[in-house]
Structure 1
Amino acid sequence: MFNFHFDSVAGLLLVLIALGVISHNNAITISACVLLIMQQTALSVYVPWIARNGLSIGIIILTIGVLSPLVSGKVQLPPILELVTNWKLILAIVVGIFVAWLGGKGVSLMTLQPTLITGLIIGTVIGVTFFKGIPVGPLIAAGVLALLLNVVEH
């Protein structure tokens, strides 16, 4: 059932596991371990499904995590009037709109130019490992890259 074959992807996953352990980042460690196990076992048949659906599933889980404090009552919804009069809330809405738009540009770029994903992954891992970031960065990084490439190409 387990027949380890070493290739560049397995090597990258092992490096990611090591960086995750060194930086105490469970998200990278667990993700790379799961993918390495899948790659090296009969579970590899499910990797294309994860490649197609993983981003959507991840965004759903992330959104559930963000919304759960509202549902649990830990965070209270502000009154509607405050949403349009409090400058911090207005700025938060504007930034939220911008980041969602930027993430959309990132998904488009990753779809149109998948070879750039490697650089984005390496940059995200470095950011997570050495700068205490969190690994939600690839979409936003791709969005920023899309903006920069658009400026450079036009």
Structure 2
Amino acid sequence: METWLFLALILIIAMFGKNSSLVIATLVVMLIKALPFTQKWLPVIQNKGINWGVTIISVAILIPIATGEITFHDLMRVFRTPAGWIAIAMGIAVAILSRLGVNQLSASPQVTVALVFGTIMGVVLFKGIAAGPVIASGLTYCIVTMLNLHF
């Protein structure tokens, strides 16, 4: 019963914060929880979900290459600007930090409670988005803007 109340509270907060991604995610988790054999599927989703999410984000990132919006010429141009190098560095930094974060979650699962709470607060109260590549882009934006650089 406590888990349902906790999920309902998250759903209400997400709706109040008008965050459709968190609303959908919470409803999906509630639906999965209501299905039979939940005890088998929830741990699988918990263990593999981050990798599935990263795969979906990677597909979305690669689509502009497939459609021709981003070309090899664009990639070469990135190497000619300080802003491009900052973006590359932020992508590398976030990838490394993400790997360390996944390792941390495996070693200390209790930190998940604080991370989930912080993520919910950031998403709902500050209109944030829970996604690694977007973090790299945000860091790049901050540094490039602060240094008044352009791509």
Cα distance in 1, alignment partners of residues 37 and 110 from structure 2: 25
1:99 and 2:94 aligned: yes
Q: CA deviation at 1:80?
A: 5.4
For the residue of structure 1 that corresponds to 2:79, the secondary structure is: helix
Query: % of aligned pairs identical?
Result: 25
Structure 2 portions without partners, runs of 5+: 136-151
4+ long deviations beyond 6 Å: none
Cα distance in 1, alignment partners of residues 113 and 94 from structure 2: 22
1:83–1:89: 8 Å Cα contact kept in structure 2? yes
1:122 and 2:117 aligned: yes
TM-score (norm 1): 0.77
1:82 and 2:74 aligned: no
Which letter does structure 1 place at the counterpart of 2:112? I
Structure 1 portions without partners, runs of 5+: 1-5, 141-154
Q: Out of 25, 33, 56, which is 1:39 matched to? A: 33
For residues 16-41 of structure 1, give each alpha carbon's deviation from its aligned partner in whole angstroms, at most 9, with x where no partner exists: 11111112211111111111122122
1:26 and 2:27 aligned: no
Q: CA deviation at 1:43?
A: 4.8
Q: How many aligned residue pairs are there?
A: 132
Instruction: Find the counterpart in structure 1 of residue 11 from structure 2.
Output: 17
* RMSD of aligned Cα (Å): 1.8
Q: CA deviation at 1:77?
A: 4.1
TM-score (norm 2): 0.78
